[in-house]
């Protein structure tokens, strides 16, 4: 069964600093990979996704993530954090079936809470 | 595009009462998911449907919980009878099976007193 680990429960950065949130997954084949963001009192919003191809994917709000198969990682990065980025971030993994479409069910990590200091 | 719609946004009820949460997925999406989020347990998948058929309900905590999807544009999650430990935020999400990414609704915050 697939699993997702986000090693950092809580990260604090200063506004303007760079950010990297870690995500490690366990799955035997090439997975679908996602990052979601949840602001307080809101639902989860999709930041970016990786299906295949270029291992560096760009998302909304200036975020990017890099798929590293050798490390089973899909870390989220942003070069300069804004105060509005304070939220909880979830990494998720899905999987393909033999026909190349998704089974539909995602496995989510436990989330990383990001605090941004002015 | 309206996105996933959930109602009500907030529900406060007394222990023992029946609670029904509602979800309208994005038009054209053929998969629908119900999640529960709490501080203690994080985000838990309760049940999901493909083409209105329940595929995996292994996350449904007890027989008090039931979910239906009578058509492609509507689903309900029912708790009967409700208990204080059911207090949580319940999210509905939908996706196209081929794409995989899920789009979440704003959630229903349930408080059972």
- Helix (H) / strand (E) element for A95: namely strand A87-95
- Is A5 at the interface with chain B, CB within 8 A? no
Min distance A13 CA to chain B CA atoms (Å): 23
E strands present in chain A: 3-5, 10-14, 19-21, 24-26, 31-38, 44-50, 56-58, 64-68, 73-78, 87-95, 107-108, 112-117
Who's near B65: CB < 8 A, 6+ residues apart? B46, B77, B78, B79
Instruction: Provide the percentage of residues in chain B whose pLDDT is more than 70.
Output: 96
What pLDDT, on the 0 to 100 scale, is given for residue B101? 85
CA–CA distance, B86 with B74 (Å, rounded to integer): 22
Q: What is the pLDDT of residues A18-77, one digit of tens each?
A: 999 999 998 767 788 999 999 988 899 999 999 888 899 999 999 999 999 999 999 999
Residue A71, SS3 per DSSP: helix
Which residues of chain A make contact with B100, given a CB cutoff of 8 A? 32, 34, 49, 51, 94, 101-102, 104, 106
Q: What is the pLDDT of residues B46-70, one digit of tens each?
A: 998 988 999 889 899 889 999 999 9
Q: What is the pLDDT of residues A63-105, one digit of tens each?
A: 999 999 999 999 999 999 999 999 999 999 987 665 555 566 7
- Position B76 pLDDT exceeds 70: yes
- Is A51 at the interface with chain B, CB within 8 A? yes
Contact A105 B95 (CB under 8 A): no
Residue A84, SS3 per DSSP: helix
Contact A105 B48 (CB under 8 A): yes
Nearest 5°: CA angle at B49, between B47 and B55? Answer: 75
- Is A27 at the interface with chain B, CB within 8 A? no
Confidence class for position B13, pLDDT limits 50, 70, 90: very high
């Amino acid at each position: 069964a697939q699993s997702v680990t986000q090693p950092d429960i809580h990260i604090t950065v200063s506004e303007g600093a760079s950010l990297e949130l870690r995500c490690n997954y366990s799955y035997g084949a090439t997975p679908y990979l996602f990052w979601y963001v949840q602001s307080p009192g809101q639902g989860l919003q999709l930041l970016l996704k990786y299906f295949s191809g270029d291992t560096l994917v760009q998302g909304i709000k200036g975020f990017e993530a890099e798929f590293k198969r050798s490390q089973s990682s899909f870390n989220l990065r942003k070069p300069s954090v804004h105060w509005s980025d304070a939220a909880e971030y979830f990494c998720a993994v899905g999987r393909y079936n033999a026909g190349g479409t998704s089974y539909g069910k995602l496995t989510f990590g436990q989330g990383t809470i990001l605090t941004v200091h002015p | 595009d309206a996105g996933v719609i959930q109602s009500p946004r907030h529900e406060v009820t007394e222990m023992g009462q029946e609670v029904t949460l509602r979800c309208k997925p994005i038009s054209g999406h053929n998969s629908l998911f119900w999640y529960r989020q709490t501080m203690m347990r994080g985000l838990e998948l309760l049940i999901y449907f493909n083409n209105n058929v329940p595929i995996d309900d292994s996350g449904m905590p007890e027989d008090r919980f039931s979910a239906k999807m009578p058509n492609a544009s509507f689903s309900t999650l029912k708790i009967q009878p409700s208990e204080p430990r059911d207090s949580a935020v319940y999210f509905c999400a939908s996706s196209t099976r081929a794409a995989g990414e899920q789009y979440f609704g704003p959630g229903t915050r349930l408080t059972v007193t």
